[in-house]
Structure 1
Amino acid sequence: MGYYTTSQVAKLVNLHPNTIRRYEEWELIPKPKRAVNGYRIFTDYHVELIQLARIAFEIEILQSGLRQKMWKVIRALATYDFQLANQNLTDYQTAVNQEIDRAHEAIEIVEGMLQNAVDENIPKSLTRSEAAAYLEVTVDALRNWELNGLLTVKRSANRYRIYNETDLNRLRIIRTLRAANYSLESILRLLLTLDQRCVSSIKNVLETPKPDEDLIAVCDQLLTSLELAQKNAIIVRQKIALLKAHYQATEKEESP
């Protein structure tokens, strides 16, 4: 087994030494032993676990507690509890699969809305509070969507916002996609494309940021990111098996 200082580990995993100390503080790696001089002593297990953690955290997805679920996987490995790590990873994979299903379902619902644009059940005109109640969202949500440019609402003679059928149809699309955790940027991109009547694939529009978008977050490519998380989880599962085998072999070597 190899033994390393903090700076040596940092060099091996291409991270700053302070980040290695953060991994210890966050309980993402086993607490290292100390040399006589007080310096931390890291092992191959630490190095391999940090490398595994970097793969695990590569996709920054926060909804449904996905990030926290992956933290539980790594923290279980930090205590050498491989069974718990695999159980937590199964929970993570189940949640990712559910999110993928929700994202696809939202696209199907929106496609159905667009194909059946005429809906006699949609009210002709509603105030903001009435629209919020009809859509089962908060007034603050409506206000936020308007502030982010997803909707421009006309005002009545008394200066109150009035939502017509077109507005309500648009809001139903926004609500459906937001419920599936699509970002406001992705939804705006889709709505602008719908306004231009040049949508060939809703999924492609939602998943393809424009070249001039300065900052692209994970949820601006929701399905793509979830599918990458799905693939990463498979890699993490394989590496857990390798980490367990390495740990058991080391324990066997060191046992009297």
Structure 2
Amino acid sequence: MDTYKTAEIAAAIGIHPNTVRLYEELELISKPERLPNGYRIFTDFHIEQFRLARLAFQVEVLQNGLRKKIVQMVKKSAARDFDTALALTQEYLAQVRQERINAEEAIEIVKKVLSGASQEDKHFFKRKDVSEYLGISMDTLRNWEMNGLLTVKRKQNGYRVYTDKDIRRLKVIRSLRCANYSLEAILGLLSRLSQNPSVDIKAALNTPKEETIIAVCDRLIISLSAAEENAKQMICMLQKMKITYS
């Protein structure tokens, strides 16, 4: 197996030597052996691991635990625990696909609001039911409510009751959060939408460009599609690494 110095592996991957050391500190690559003079010695496995990590982190916008899961995957592969890394990547891929479905649904919800289509409340849900249905923790729901993203009605006994309208609003919030928008930015978008659904929703985000909820979700779908393709490549890379380096 070939060996490489820090500068050589940095040149091979196309990164700065300091980035090589940072990846080592973060345990995104396995710890290289050292020569008596202290110089690090890297191998072909390190090159493959760097390529895997850079592919894994290529899509930056995603939240909802996706980033955390993919970091965990990279660390497991660096430790040569390829079975766990593969399982994590499969979970990541499934979640990316679900988030894309969620974003597409959010677009349809907003389009109906903008068109003025009638959407009656036919169902009522408890917070626990909403948490399980939407895959959102109860703590997250509380946080969104405390930050003004949602005002939930209460029964006479004090229990919160979520309506169909609340569910639709939460689905939109969920996708905007996945797209890495702040709670303040989301509140601005939703406030503008509820004040006057017929207007073009602009200048409501803390971003350089004016955007609409639909534009945000469209861009999220593009990012999720890229993440899906990357995940498929990562699975192939991990399978090859398992055969070669186990």
5+ unaligned residues in a row in structure 2: which ranges? 122-141, 151-165, 203-207, 211-215
- 8 Å CA contact 2:102, 2:171 repeated in 1: no
Letter in 2 for 1:240: L
Q: What are the residue-to-residue correspondences of 1:1-256 with 2, within 5 Å?
A: 1-118=1-118, 138=145, 140-141=147-148, 176-180=171-175, 181=177, 182=179, 183=181, 184=185, 195=198, 213=209, 221-248=219-246
Q: How many residues align?
A: 195
- 8 Å CA contact 1:100, 1:226 repeated in 2: yes
TM-score after normalising by structure 1:
0.63
- Residues 44-79 of structure 1: per-residue CA shift (max 9 Å, x gap): 100111011101110013422111111111111111
Identity across the alignment (%) = 38
Deviation at residue 172 of structure 1 after TM alignment: 9.2
In 2, the alpha carbon distance for the partners of 1:87 and 1:173 equals 32
Letter in 1 for 2:173: R
Deviation at residue 242 of structure 1 after TM alignment: 2.1
5+ unaligned residues in a row in structure 1: which ranges? 122-135, 144-170, 200-204, 206-211, 249-256
Aligned equivalent of 1:202: none
- 107 and 241 in structure 1: CA distance in 2 versus 1, 3 angstrom threshold: same
Secondary structure at 2:65's aligned position in 1? helix
- 8 Å CA contact 1:52, 1:239 repeated in 2: yes
Structure with the greater alpha carbon radius of gyration: 1
- 86 and 195 in structure 1: CA distance in 2 versus 1, 3 angstrom threshold: same
In 1, the alpha carbon distance for the partners of 2:240 and 2:65 equals 26
In 2, the alpha carbon distance for the partners of 1:120 and 1:227 equals 33
Larger relative contact order, structure 1 or 2 (CA cutoff 8 Å, min sep 6): 2
TM-score after normalising by structure 2:
0.66
Alignment root-mean-square deviation, CA? 3.7
